[in-house]
């Protein structure tokens, strides 16, 4: 069969699979009975069957004159941002690295920038790089450099590595050019590697993929290496890296078998998973009433160290939970440093700003009403299964604001000078808060808390203006949630999430559907900006259960792609049945995602309606005319001659 015919057949196969999944997703019903998730065992079975099919594929044939270009980084102080490449003045190849990819290069990963076919002979080669210092802020100046040289290509396939190193007397970063050579023994040869060892560029590519949450791509890379090496015995490094990829892909049993084959014990739990276990234990203890023991575990996490994103997020959550625990205990002074430790732009920042304002209102612990607080840590269903970061709290309407319903007419006691001072302190984090996402319940509570505080200090006109603004924003949010519900019901969310990694950059696949930053800000703050089509994903992706279901959906889509790309997959035993199973599982997972999204949107709409009702109620009371004074009671004259 001609190569062009094979290619056309493969394209038709992939297109048919995409059409089948798209048809199933677009016709999804409105939210009815929640669909059950695909069981982990069912998805793992599909993954294992697809990997078996991948391993059975013949070895790829390298083209004569091919040049594979890898990118590495030995300068631990720099994170690579961008690479650009020109050969013989041809249009440039350009790649932008994500932060996670930059860190993966630090861990001895290798990025395959390009595979080119060049004619034998000399060629002009130029590579530019841009990098930033790992500890510097995003707007800090970047390091840059150029490698300009000639290369010679012969008929044999060749590989080179462009390695970023700290060079020169003053340590100016530069690119080094390394022609890579495969050897069959450990004889030391410059720029050589033992096939299948940790120095093998294909193993290092697998390290890069695994470290950037692409374990299926890592496994495919290692399967290809195995096929090309034939019957040769590969070193333990190969099996250990394949085990890491399979473990991250949700196949721990296969990973353990490979660890035994490699003669190495599985790696122990890393620092972050151990911290998750401590967090879960702390939450469980607090649920059981053992507050001191649980707080001790969470306190160790809150004061821990760690530069990666997961450790920082877990630290934020621990500080947040401990802060709301202090509010529940009416010890605001102890809550202030906890809320202040939460990163200002992390996923828990809004709830921390809200809590910080309430904590500042009671620095000595006696300024908040006694009794249970509705904005304290909310009780958690003890039967609920633990998520990776269990949700222990949810911002709620405060007792003071809810109490307005019970007071007629709408009047507030004028704050004393001391009370006015702490109210003004609380306004600082709340003003920062209300400029954020108007769908977030913490932001919505801040919209009500600010005019409430302004009323206390006698700024009645400003309070009225803020209540009017809150009503306008909440009405717009309510309408946006209605539109979002319609779009999700029509299958538009699934279509947006059915995407893949971009070819020219390494940012996560789901960013293509993620709303742009600060979408709610308009040129005129009095005219709220219309929400983008997928604005709700910002909230859905903050939920660990949704992210897990979304990743399962993405993995199933990748399995379908992998089956469609395999040469001879139609003739492989069980290939057609496996393709049908993957398509059906993908459609079921899409329905689950849709149901979860609709349930979350319904919850957000209930929150929005609740705060909208409170804002309208408070505004109505502000505008309510003062009651007319009661007429004086008539005094009956005393009878004549009565004793005085």
Query: pLDDT tens digit string along 146-160?
Result: 999 999 988 888 999
Q: Give SS3 for 116.
A: strand
Instruction: Tell me if 438 sits within 8 A of 473, measured CB to CB.
Output: yes
Beta bridge pairs of residue 71: 111, 162
Instruction: Tell me if 618 sits within 8 A of 451, measured CB to CB.
Output: yes
What pLDDT, on the 0 to 100 scale, is given for residue 524? 54
Tell me which residue of 599, 592, 501 sits closest to 217, measured CA to CA: 501
Per residue in 158-178, pLDDT (tens digit) is 999 999 998 655 668 899 999
252: its two tokens: 């721990």
325/372 Cα distance (integer angstroms): 11
What pLDDT, on the 0 to 100 scale, is given for residue 397? 41
258: its two tokens: 């490979």
314/300 Cα distance (integer angstroms): 11
For the beta sheet containing 93-96, the strands, ordered from the edge strand earlier in sequence to the opposite edge, are 93-96, 78-87, 121-133, 143-153
191/213 Cα distance (integer angstroms): 28
Instruction: Tell me if 440 sits within 8 A of 539, measured CB to CB.
Output: yes
437/604 Cα distance (integer angstroms): 12
- Core vs surface per residue 33-61: b (16+ CB within 10 A) or e: eebebbeeeebbebbbbbbebbeebeeee
What pLDDT, on the 0 to 100 scale, is given for residue 638? 57
What pLDDT, on the 0 to 100 scale, is given for residue 265? 52
What pLDDT, on the 0 to 100 scale, is given for residue 366? 40
Q: Residue 92 to residues 86, 125, 398, 452: CA-CA distances in angstroms? A: 5, 11, 58, 58
Provide φ and ψ at 429, rounded to 5°. -70, -30
Pairing of strands 158-167, 93-96: unpaired
First to last CA, the chain: 127
Pairing of strands 93-96, 78-87: antiparallel
199: its two tokens: 């120095």
Can the peptide bond before residue 409 be classed as cis, meaning omega within 30 degrees of 0?
A: yes
172/205 Cα distance (integer angstroms): 26
- Strands, E assignment, 46-117: 66-73, 78-87, 93-96, 111-117
Beta bridge pairs of residue 324: none
Tell me which residue of 162, 192, 168, 184 sits closest to 84, measured CA to CA: 162
What pLDDT, on the 0 to 100 scale, is given for residue 410? 44
Beta bridge pairs of residue 112: 70
DSSP 132-156: EETTS-TTS--EEEEEEEEEEE-SS
> What residue ranges of the chain have pLDDT lower than 70?
1-40, 137-140, 167-171, 187, 261-273, 307, 362-415, 502, 506, 512, 516-517, 522-530, 567-574, 624-644
Backbone CA torsion sign across 103, 109, 115, 119: positive
Instruction: Tell me if 564 sits within 8 A of 14, measured CB to CB.
Output: yes
468/458 Cα distance (integer angstroms): 17
Q: Is 73 exposed, middle or buried (0-12, 13-18, 19+ CB in 10 A)?
A: buried
Q: Which residue has the tokens 């023991």?
A: 293
Provide φ and ψ at 299, rounded to 5°. -65, -35
Helix (H) or strand (E) holding 131: strand 121-133
What pLDDT, on the 0 to 100 scale, is given for residue 376? 36
What pLDDT, on the 0 to 100 scale, is given for residue 596? 93
Q: Cβ of 622: how many Cβ atoms within 10 Å?
A: 16
What pLDDT, on the 0 to 100 scale, is given for residue 89? 81
Provide φ and ψ at 300, rounded to 5°. -65, -35
Instruction: Tell me if 485 sits within 8 A of 438, measured CB to CB.
Output: no
For the beta sheet containing 66-73, the strands, ordered from the edge strand earlier in sequence to the opposite edge, are 111-117, 66-73, 158-167, 172-183, 192-194
379: its two tokens: 């009780």
Instruction: Tell me if 203 sits within 8 A of 241, measured CB to CB.
Output: yes
As a residue count, the chain comes to 644
Instruction: Tell me if 17 sits within 8 A of 557, measured CB to CB.
Output: no
């Amino acid at each position: 069969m001609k190569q062009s015919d094979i290619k056309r057949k493969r394209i038709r196969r992939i297109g048919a699979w995409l059409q089948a999944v798209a048809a199933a997703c677009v016709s999804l019903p409105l939210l009815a009975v929640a669909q059950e998730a695909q069981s982990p065992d069912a998805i793992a079975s599909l993954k294992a069957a697809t990997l078996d099919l991948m391993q059975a594929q013949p070895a790829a044939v390298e083209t004569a004159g091919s040049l594979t270009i890898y990118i590495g980084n030995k300068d631990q102080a720099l994170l690579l941002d961008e690479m650009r490449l020109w050969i013989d003045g041809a249009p440039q190849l350009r790649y932008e690295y994500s932060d996670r990819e930059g860190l993966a290069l630090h861990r001895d990963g290798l990025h395959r920038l390009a595979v080119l076919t060049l004619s034998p002979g000399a060629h002009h080669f130029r590579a530019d790089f841009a990098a930033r210092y790992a500890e510097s802020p995003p707007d800090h100046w970047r390091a840059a450099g150029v490698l300009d040289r000639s290369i010679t290509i012969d008929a044999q396939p060749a590989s080179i590595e462009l390695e970023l190193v700290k060079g020169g007397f003053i340590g100016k970063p530069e690119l080094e050019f390394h022609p890579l050579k495969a050897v069959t023994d450990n004889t030391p040869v410059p720029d050589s590697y033992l096939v299948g060892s940790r120095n093998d560029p294909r193993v290092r590519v697998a390290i890069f993929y695994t470290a950037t949450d692409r374990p299926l791509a890592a496994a495919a890379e290692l399967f290809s290496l195995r096929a090309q090496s034939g019957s040769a015995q590969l070193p333990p490094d190969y099996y250990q890296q394949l085990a890491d990829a399979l473990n991250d892909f949700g196949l721990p049993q296969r990973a353990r078998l490979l660890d035994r084959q490699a003669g190495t014990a599985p790696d122990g739990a890393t620092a972050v998973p151990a911290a998750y276990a401590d967090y879960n234990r702390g939450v469980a203890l607090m649920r059981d009433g053992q507050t001191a023991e649980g707080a001790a575990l969470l306190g160790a996490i809150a004061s821990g160290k760690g530069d990666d994103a997961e450790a920082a997020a877990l630290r934020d959550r621990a500080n947040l939970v401990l802060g709301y625990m202090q509010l529940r205990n009416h010890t605001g002074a102890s809550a202030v440093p906890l809320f202040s430790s939460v990163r200002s732009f992390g996923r828990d920042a809004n709830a921390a700003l809200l809590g910080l304002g309430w904590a500042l209102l009671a620095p000595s612990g006696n300024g908040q009403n006694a009794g249970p607080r509705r904005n304290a840590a909310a009780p958690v269903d003890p039967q609920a299964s633990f998520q990776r970061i269990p949700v222990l709290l949810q911002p709620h309407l405060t007792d003071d604001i809810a109490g307005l319903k019970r007071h007629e007419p709408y009047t507030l006691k004028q704050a004393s000078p001391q009370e006015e001072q702490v109210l003004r302190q609380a306004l600082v984090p709340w003003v920062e808060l209300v400029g954020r996402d108007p769908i977030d319940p913490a932001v919505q509570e801040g919209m009500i808390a600010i005019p409430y505080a302004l009323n206390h200090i006698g700024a009645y006109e400003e309070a009225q203006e803020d209540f009017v603004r809150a009503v306008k924003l909440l009405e717009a949010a309510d309408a946006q949630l209605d539109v979002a519900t319609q779009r999700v019901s029509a299958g538009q969310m699934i279509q947006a999430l059915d995407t893949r990694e971009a070819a020219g950059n390494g940012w996560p696949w789901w960013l293509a559907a993620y709303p742009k930053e600060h979408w709610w800000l308009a040129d005129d703050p009095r005219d709220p900006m219309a929400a983008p089509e997928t604005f709700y994903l910002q909230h859905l992706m903050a939920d660990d259960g949704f992210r897990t279901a979304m990743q399962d959906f993405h993995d199933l889509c990748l399995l379908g792609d992998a089956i469609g790309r395999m040469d001879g997959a139609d003739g492989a035993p069980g290939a057609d049945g496996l393709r049908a199973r993957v398509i059906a599982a993908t459609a079921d997972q899409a329905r689950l995602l849709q149901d979860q999204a609709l349930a979350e949107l319904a919850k957000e709409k209930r929150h929005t309606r609740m705060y909208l009702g409170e804002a309208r109620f408070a505004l109505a009371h502000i505008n309510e005319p003062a009651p007319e004074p009661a007429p004086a009671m008539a005094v009956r004259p005393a009878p004549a001659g009565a004793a005085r």
